[in-house]
Amino acid sequence: MASKLLLSIIFVFDLIAFGLAVAAEQRRSTATVKQDNEKDYNYCVYDSDISTGYGVGAFLFLMASQVLIMAASRCFCCGKPLNPGGSRACAILLFIICWVTFFIAEVCLLAGSVRNAYHTKYRTIFNEEPPSCETVRKGVFAAGASFVFFTLIVSEFYYICYSKARGSFQPYGGAGEAGVGMVGTYK
């Protein structure tokens, strides 16, 4: 049977990661072009950098969630064997999907955080074009949040299927079967 405590902890961690990713999308950096006091050159001024912290926090909570679920299931490859059947097949498929969605979510969150933290230091002479004030594209953290949500759903179902397949394993043909007697009766 699946551990309800573990499922609850995974749910809370993924929910926090989702919330932080949404907050990072809403608070991502913006930039404006300013002139210096002598009006000799233009430069970029960036506002709050809080979304980098939100993105890193979401990254870490999602990673902690994945570590917990993989430790509890022994990363699917260690521990006692699973019962062949539908639950094992479902667990294998969900295991693969869980890792794919986890990887995509982590890449989006990490790339968004790194890009949001990068601030251009370019200056241009007043007569030239204004500098390129690069910021993270809209939707990077939102994509990370959506894949955090997918990872939440898939990892919960993966652990339930894994637990069902693990709990129903009966070695050597079933419970209570004594084995083949090899000793004959003597008269």
Question: Is residue 183 pLDDT above 60, yes or no?
Answer: no
Model-level pTM? Answer: 0.77
pLDDT tens digits, residue range 137-170? 788 889 999 999 999 999 999 999 888 888 755 5
**What pLDDT is attached to residue 19?**
96
Q: Which residue has the higher pLDDT, 90 or 47?
A: 90
Give residue limits of the domains in the chain. Answer: 4-31+49-118+137-164
Which H or E run contains 124? strand 123-125
Residue pointed to by tokens 């898939």: 154
Tokens (6 digits) for 115: 């890009």
Which H or E run contains 34? strand 31-35
In terms of Cβ atoms closer than 10 Å to its own Cβ (0-12, 13-18, 19+), residue 172 is: exposed
Structure confidence at residue 74 as a pLDDT band (50, 70, 90)? confident
pLDDT tens digits, residue range 28-55? 777 777 777 776 777 777 777 788 889 9
Separation of alpha carbons 27 and 29, rounded Å: 6
CB 32 within 8 A of CB 77: no
Question: Is residue 65 pLDDT above 90, yes or no?
Answer: yes
Q: Which residue has the higher pLDDT, 129 or 105?
A: 105
DSSP 146-176: HHHHHHHHHHHHHHHHHHHHHHT--GGGSTT
Q: Which residue has the higher pLDDT, 126 or 87?
A: 87
Question: Is residue 174 pLDDT above 60, yes or no?
Answer: no
Question: Is residue 176 pLDDT above 50, yes or no?
Answer: no
Separation of alpha carbons 15 and 156, rounded Å: 12
What values do phi and psi take at 120, rounded to 5?
-70, 145
Sheet with strand 123-125: strands edge to edge: 31-35, 41-46, 123-125
CATH number of 4-31+49-118+137-164: 1.20.120
